[in-house]
Amino acid sequence: MSQDPILIVEDSSVLSDLVRDLLEATGFGVVQASTSKDALALLRESRFSGVLIEAEMPGISGHELVDEIKTDPELAETPTLLLITGDPDPSTLPGGLALEDCVHKPIDPVELITRVRAAVVKGGQEPPPAIATTSPAAPEVSPAAPIPAEAEPPTVKVSRTPGRGKIITVFSLKGGVGTSTIAVNLAIALQNMWHESTVLADLSLESGALNILLDIMPTATVDELASLNGNMTAEAVLQYLAPHKSGVSLLSAPPSPERAELIDGASLRKAVGFLRDQFDYVVIDTASTFAEHTLLALEMADHIILPLVGDISSIRATTTALDIFQALSIPDDRVIMVFNEIFPKMGLSRKHAETSMSVSTMPLPYGGAKLLDSINLGDPIVQSDPGGAFAQAIDAIATAVSHPGGEAKGKARSGDLFSRMRSRIKS
């Protein structure tokens, strides 16, 4: 079945072409419009499987375009809309849109592709099949070579010596800086490095996409686990995990944003506690907010990975996050800052970012086409290109959070971070 194209509404030709190239490399057809007026004309003439709209455009802004589409009877069949924005404020988003409907600037290829694929599915269409943007040579196979036996399906692997595992939370107050990419690759790096049980928990509850990055179709999700309430046991938790061929297991986010509202903090805390008791490493991906589930993941963490990119808004968000960490008594030695070079030689350099914030960071170099392939194919780059610079940088982060000498010396003061956050806001 042929796929309807994606419509990009963006007045910047540079950004529009960048988004086009990323989507076309992933198998999508693309149509570009430079004004809202042109976009409205195209929407009345043709069908699209998704629409990406720049928030800040001259004339009719992206916010106004969204409102016009939603209120025009002729455009009632328009599929899911995504807003390209630099600094979204949930209170100012157009009607019907939430943070999970935003693609943040600077554009993170992971976020862009996962958001668009999810929007296409939400709109009732199938996304294009994964294709590689590079063309590795096929291995030569002898005509007489026997057909290899079918590999055994992956299974959930728990710790051989149950006890208190280590929790690593990946968090940023700004979206689009690579938290999901880091979380997935870090979990697999830990599994490969130590051959100890590792689980990924997708606590980006309203917009989680770790299953896409791992090419897993989960049969159960965290909201279903939370619904067990008082009946939750360590053994029951394992039934809600999806195994990956790497040996890592995944606790998937809810399939839709509204399901996130059904997850209470007490059940989530209990579930993460069971994971910590049964796995050597628990890697948690979080949303870009200080919501209750995020605060829980930060409170329980032995290490917090805090990514940033080379732009002013990311540095500002990172500074704010560090200030809040300090107010919540999260020790500095639990936080590992990572400078993610999403695009090569663009924006502020790592040195400039470190100087402006008076901090040190670990580098995560530009991944290029190989990283895009890994996203597109659901094959994390630490597996597909283990000798590359990106994978080696992930290995360095994995060593920092797992080496016996890298144990965090400090612990947060006792108490619930969510309660302390509410107290701070009220003061």
Sheet order of strands, 249-251 included: 242-243, 249-251, 198-203, 281-286, 166-170, 303-308, 335-340, 362-364
Q: How high is the pLDDT of residue 141?
A: 44
Show the tokens assigned to 163: 């006890």
Instruction: Give 161's contacts (C-beta < 8 A, 6+ positions apart).
Output: none
Show the tokens assigned to 352: 């400039």
Q: How high is the pLDDT of residue 419?
A: 53
Q: How high is the pLDDT of residue 171?
A: 96
Instruction: State which amino acid sits at residue 164.
Output: R
Distance CA 174, CA 153 (A): 37
Q: How high is the pLDDT of residue 252?
A: 95
Instruction: Give 274's contacts (C-beta < 8 A, 6+ positions apart).
Output: 232, 233, 234, 237
Q: Provide the whole-model pTM.
A: 0.73
Instruction: Give 379's contacts (C-beta < 8 A, 6+ positions apart).
Output: 215, 373
Distance CA 193, CA 50 (A): 40
Show the tokens assigned to 158: 């728990």
Domain with CATH 3.40.50.300 in the chain: 166-426
Show the tokens assigned to 270: 């209990």
Domain with CATH 3.40.50.2300 in the chain: 6-122
Please report, in tens digits, the pLDDT of each residue of the chain (427 residues total): 457 899 999 998 888 988 888 888 778 899 999 999 999 999 998 889 889 999 888 899 988 998 888 888 888 777 777 888 876 566 667 766 777 778 887 777 777 887 888 778 776 666 676 555 554 444 444 444 454 555 567 889 888 777 789 999 999 998 889 999 999 999 999 999 999 999 999 999 888 889 989 988 888 999 999 999 788 999 999 999 999 999 999 999 998 777 888 899 999 999 999 999 999 999 999 999 899 999 999 999 999 999 999 888 899 999 999 999 999 899 999 999 999 998 777 678 899 999 989 999 999 999 888 888 888 788 999 999 999 999 999 999 999 998 654 433 333 334 455 554 445 444 4
Q: How high is the pLDDT of residue 231?
A: 87
**Beta-carbon count within 10 A of 411 CB:** 11
Angle between helices 109-122 and 368-377 (to 10 degrees): 30
Q: How high is the pLDDT of residue 340?
A: 94
Q: How high is the pLDDT of residue 297?
A: 95
- Selected from 3.20.140.10, 3.10.620.30, 3.40.50.300, 3.10.20.30, the CATH number assigned to the domain covering 166-426 reads 3.40.50.300
6-122 placed in CATH 3.40.50.2300: yes
- Partnered with residue 242 across adjacent β-strands are 250
Q: How high is the pLDDT of residue 262?
A: 86
Distance CA 192, CA 246 (A): 8
